[in-house]
Amino acid sequence: MARVISLLVNDTPSKVDADARSSLLSILREQLELTGTKYGCGEGQCGACTVLIDGVAHRSCLTPAADAEGKAITTIEGLAKNGRLHPLQEAFLAEEAMQCAYCASGMIMSAVGLLQTDANPTESKIKDSLEGNVCRCGTHPRIVAAVQRAARIMKGGTS
Amino acid sequence: MNEHATVSLSIEPERYELREARAYVFELTRRDLFKFLGAGALFFCANTKTIALQESGRGQRRGDDMPKDIGAWLHIGEDGKITVFTGKVEVGQNIRTSLAQAVAEELHAPVSQIELVMGDTLLTPYDMGTFGSRTTPTMNLQLRKVSAAACDLLKDIAAKNWSIERDRLAAANGKIVDPISKNSATYGELLKGREIAQIIPDQDPLLPATEWRVAGKSLAKADGRDFVTGVHKYPSDQKLPGMLYGKVVRPSKFQATLISADTTAAEKMPGVIVVRDGDFIGVAAPSEEIASQAAAAIKTEWKAEPQPSSKNIFDYLRKNPERRESTNSPADQGAQATVRGSGQQLLATYTVEYIAHAPLEPRAALAEWEGDKLTVWTGTQRPFGVREELAAAFHIPQESVHVLMPDTGSAYGGKHTGETAIEAARLARAAKKPVKVVWTRKEEFTWAYFRPAGVIDIRASVDSSGRLEHWEFTNFNSGGSGLNTPYAAEVRNEKFQPTKYPLRQGSYRGLAATANHFARESFMDELAHQAKMDPLEFRRKNLKDERLRAVLEAAAKKFGWPGVKKSSEQGFGIAGGFEKGGYVATCAEVTVDRSSGSVRVARLVTAFECGAIVNPDGLRNQVEGANIMGLGGALFEAIEFEDGRILNAAFSKYRVPRFKDVPAIETVLIDRKDLPSAGAGETPIVGVAPAIGNAIFNATGVRLRSLPMVPNGLRIS
């Protein structure tokens, strides 16, 4: 049965209806109208639905919304602060790391999660950590370059 | 020998989906139907000839031509905002950007003032669809002509306003300027919001590519910021007040007919509407989750005939030719030609499995009825085609249907059709509320269409000097694109043999050019090996086409052909070809682990030439993307099916290229400013598979003649 749960998404508290099976993805998209988080497969295989929960990248399609209650959820819409893009968003633009861009929010959120645990990842570690994110347009080399660029920006260096 | 005559312009031979019967024949209700007929419905029948001949323009309303008045394509607001209208659509190939560059160039206006309205059947001129790499050669050119004509008109207005000679006026940065009086006026001020009813002159001298300032330079994706912030609304993100979520109950197998359905449980669920109309059965509900539960609660019984399986697909294709036989070899010496000549003969058979497009955004549509008027937002490469499908499905005139196409999460030739549009519209009609249908990944892998499987037989002979004498090439089912060899054989016999086929099949990036190039360029490698010649040298010897020679040499140079092996596990391969006005050559380096059989593609070098380059970085992005997509079909992508069911309809079972599969990719672009710009989204894919296969042979001596080549690793006997 549906019950009301409280979610903290992008620093904004809200109450939503969810039953035990409701995925965080469907709640974000249908009730909170945060459609930047995408559906791609529903089985945690493509990464399009990636969000941060307490700073850690999670597949929102496999995460019951109820499990995220009381935790800080960040979606792609909450990444820019005061109109200023996150360095990863800047880097995706600078490297033109997208074509249709449907994978971009999941890629960016996964990479934000990576850079929070490793500020200076090797190319091989970037590929490892994004292995679960699918880009069908084939912008992979640009995405790797964008993550490297963002890492440089976040360390305070020049892009 | 005419080596260019086969470049396909507007007809895609494998557009099988156009021949299929409608998926659903709706009866609606008698009352609905009578109401429509009573309203004096107009039925527009698709005239195939017309569609084949013309690609853009309001053909069905106003003759076969594209609209000739500037105002149909371009509007300039009083605030100077330039709105451009085109029926082409954006699916990630970034034509929203490259078309804006074309307008900016000829109109002498900043790109920032230009906005494109794309794929909106109410606002944009008729367009057959976005496919065949036709946007750049046709729409880019059309919009350049429109913009040049608009610029001339603006000068006329300024000259009249200022009572001076028109010829001394210049256009720059969205203004007409008189260099003598220093008078200037913005385009907005000159037009004052008026429509430009002027006719586009037939001959308007366009700027040569050597003088381009905006086009010819890299420009970032239009509205890029909206895509990295999650602001952009894709078709699956669309929402309307009161909207319901739709779900269709799928048959147990392909070609199945509905025997019975028990909808009682679903109908009892709160807020759920169940629709049954012929073989269509679906639900609409207040949330996606409830819709899924309701659809799952419907018990159905289906009946279907036994169907072929992927295990015996090639045998099936060969044994089931259709009477319709299309031979499109310009140098065809007749089907009776037999291999002759003094040289050594070689024959081989190549095969290609069915593969899926798997666009990351599955098919999606939101439909809303207002009375008998239907509006649908959907991701499709053919919004006007979807309008036709909807009009036919609901027995209403096309004027009553409005299709809009928000920039979509990719397509690759896989979204020519309007399945979700029809499903959403049928449910919305019953629910009397807007309904959105988004296919699950499983539905996308099952109920979309596939790149056709195929069998290709080749037989050829080479004389003692290494020249091709005879070339015989037959493609069963996969299609005619790229069928004709660019090499100069004395006798050629090339044909495409349509067959019966078990899966819904249609266009895919590059169409059959991938299959045909895989077979041809692998076989050229086999012939070179037999003739004991270097594969590049063998191609050069048999090649007359200078543009193909140029890309082969450019790729070889960048790659360092023939290369020096660092270990016996390494191998190098080369392949080339042309299609849709673009010339490509790819060199591959592979490493094969002999104990595990694993094949790693370490490096791909691609040289590409498509005339004058419009957006170099955009082009580079497309070439890189084609390489990576091509890698999947070359190595491991294959749809497995059995008796009318797909067995691997999930990303966990259908392997697509991922980060660790991606090799070092190097791209060489040859910018031919003396040639018209051709499209580029497709052709760079065709050299990938044969280059990799040839490299595997070079490393191991094992010739792989089936795509995908190593779905389970390489078995070295």
The helix/strand/coil state of A100 is coil
Quote the percentage of chain B above a pLDDT of 70: 89
pLDDT the model gives residue A138: 98
Q: How far is A76 from chain B (nearest CA, A)?
A: 6
Q: What pLDDT digit, counting tens, does each position of B282-308 carry?
A: 999 999 999 999 999 999 999 999 999
Which chain A residues are closer than 8 Å to B230 by Cβ? Answer: 34-37, 75-77, 105
Instruction: Check pLDDT > 50 for residue B35.
Output: no
Q: Which residue has the higher pLDDT, B197 or B222?
A: B222
Tokens of B655: 């392997």
User: Is the bond preceding B562 in cis, omega lying within 30 degrees of 0?
Assistant: yes
C-alpha to C-alpha distance for B266 and A81, rounded to whole angstroms: 45
pLDDT the model gives residue A8: 98
Residue B658 contacts A, CB cutoff 8 Å: yes
pLDDT the model gives residue B25: 81
Q: What letters, b where the CB count within 10 A reaches 16 and e where it falls short, cover B472-490?
A: bbbbbbbbbbbbbbbbbbb
Helical pair B688-700 and B513-530, crossing angle rounded to 10 deg: 30
Order the strands of the A3-9 sheet from edge to edge: A12-18, A3-9, A72-74, A50-53, A56-59
Quote the percentage of chain B above a pLDDT of 90: 85
Contact A140 B231 (CB under 8 A): no
Q: What pLDDT digit, counting tens, does each position of B318-338 carry?
A: 999 997 655 555 444 444 445
Which of B398, B512, B440, B570 shows the shortest CA–CA distance to B45? B398
B 438-457 near A (Cβ less than 8 A): 438, 440-441
Instruction: Check pLDDT > 50 for residue B384.
Output: yes
pLDDT the model gives residue A158: 59
Tokens of B310: 């992927």
Lowest mean pLDDT among B24-38, B163-177, B314-328: B24-38
pLDDT the model gives residue B342: 66
The helix/strand/coil state of A76 is helix
Q: How far is B625 from chain A (nearest CA, A)?
A: 4
3-state helix, strand, coil in chain B (%, to 5): 30, 25, 45
Transcribe B570-628 into DSSP letters.
Answer: EEEEEEEEEETTEEEEEEEEEEE-TTT--EEEEEEEEEEE-SS-S-HHHHHHHHHHHHH
Contact A141 B410 (CB under 8 A): no
pLDDT the model gives residue B66: 81
Instruction: Check pLDDT > 50 for residue B42.
Output: no
Which chain A residues are closer than 8 Å to B652 by Cβ? Answer: 43, 45
**Cβ–Cβ < 8 Å for B559, B552:** no
Which chain A residues are closer than 8 Å to B290 by Cβ? Answer: none
pLDDT the model gives residue B201: 87
Handedness of CA B634, B636, B637, B638 (dihedral sign): positive
Q: How far is A150 from chain B (nearest CA, A)?
A: 14
**Terminus-to-terminus CA distance in chain A, angstroms?**
50
- Residues 6 or more apart whose CB falls under 8 angstroms from that of A12 comprise none
pLDDT the model gives residue A55: 96
Q: What pLDDT digit, counting tens, does each position of B617-634 carry?
A: 999 999 999 999 999 999
The mean predicted confidence, pLDDT, of chain B is 90
- Residues 6 or more apart whose CB falls under 8 angstroms from that of B16 comprise B449, B452, B501, B504, B505, B506
For B210-343, strand residue ranges (E) read 244-248, 257-262, 273-277, 280-285, 299-303
Q: How far is B230 from chain A (nearest CA, A)?
A: 4
Instruction: Check pLDDT > 70 for residue B48.
Output: no
C-alpha to C-alpha distance for B274 and B575, rounded to whole angstroms: 54
Instruction: Check pLDDT > 80 for residue B386.
Output: yes
**What's the pLDDT band for B437 if we cut at 50, 70, 90?**
very high
Q: What are the helix and strand counts (H, E) for chain A?
A: 5, 5
Lowest mean pLDDT among A43-47, A63-67, A148-152, B1-5: B1-5
Please state the rounded mean pLDDT for residues A77-106. 97
A22, A93, A136 member nearest B358 (Cβ): A136
**Cβ–Cβ < 8 Å for B455, B476:** yes
Q: Give Cα separations from A72 to A51, A52, B17, B200, B636 (angstroms).
A: 10, 8, 47, 58, 40
Q: What are the helix and strand counts (H, E) for chain B?
A: 18, 26
B 333-372 near A (Cβ less than 8 A): 357-362
Q: What pLDDT digit, counting tens, does each position of B643-661 carry?
A: 999 999 999 999 999 999 9
Q: Which residue has the higher pLDDT, B437 or B18?
A: B437
**Cβ–Cβ < 8 Å for B111, B32:** no
User: Is the bond preceding B708 in cis, omega lying within 30 degrees of 0?
Assistant: yes
**What's the pLDDT band for B55 if we cut at 50, 70, 90?**
very low
The mean predicted confidence, pLDDT, of chain A is 96
Which chain B residues are closer than 8 Å to A82 by Cβ? Answer: none
C-alpha to C-alpha distance for A7 and A65, rounded to whole angstroms: 8
Please state the rounded mean pLDDT for residues B534-558. 98
Beta carbons within 10 angstroms of residue B202's beta carbon:
7
Q: What pLDDT digit, counting tens, does each position of A10-21 carry?
A: 999 999 999 888
Please state the rounded mean pLDDT for residues B194-201. 88
Q: How far is B627 from chain A (nearest CA, A)?
A: 8
| pTM recorded for the entire structure | 0.93
pLDDT the model gives residue B208: 96
**Cβ–Cβ < 8 Å for B398, B427:** no
- Residue to test with chain A: of B229, B410, B628, B653, most A Cβ within 10 A: B229
Please state the rounded mean pLDDT for residues B431-438. 98
Please state the rounded mean pLDDT for residues B31-36. 39
A 37-66 near B (Cβ less than 8 A): 37-43, 45-46, 48
Which chain A residues are closer than 8 Å to B412 by Cβ? Answer: 136
pLDDT the model gives residue B232: 98
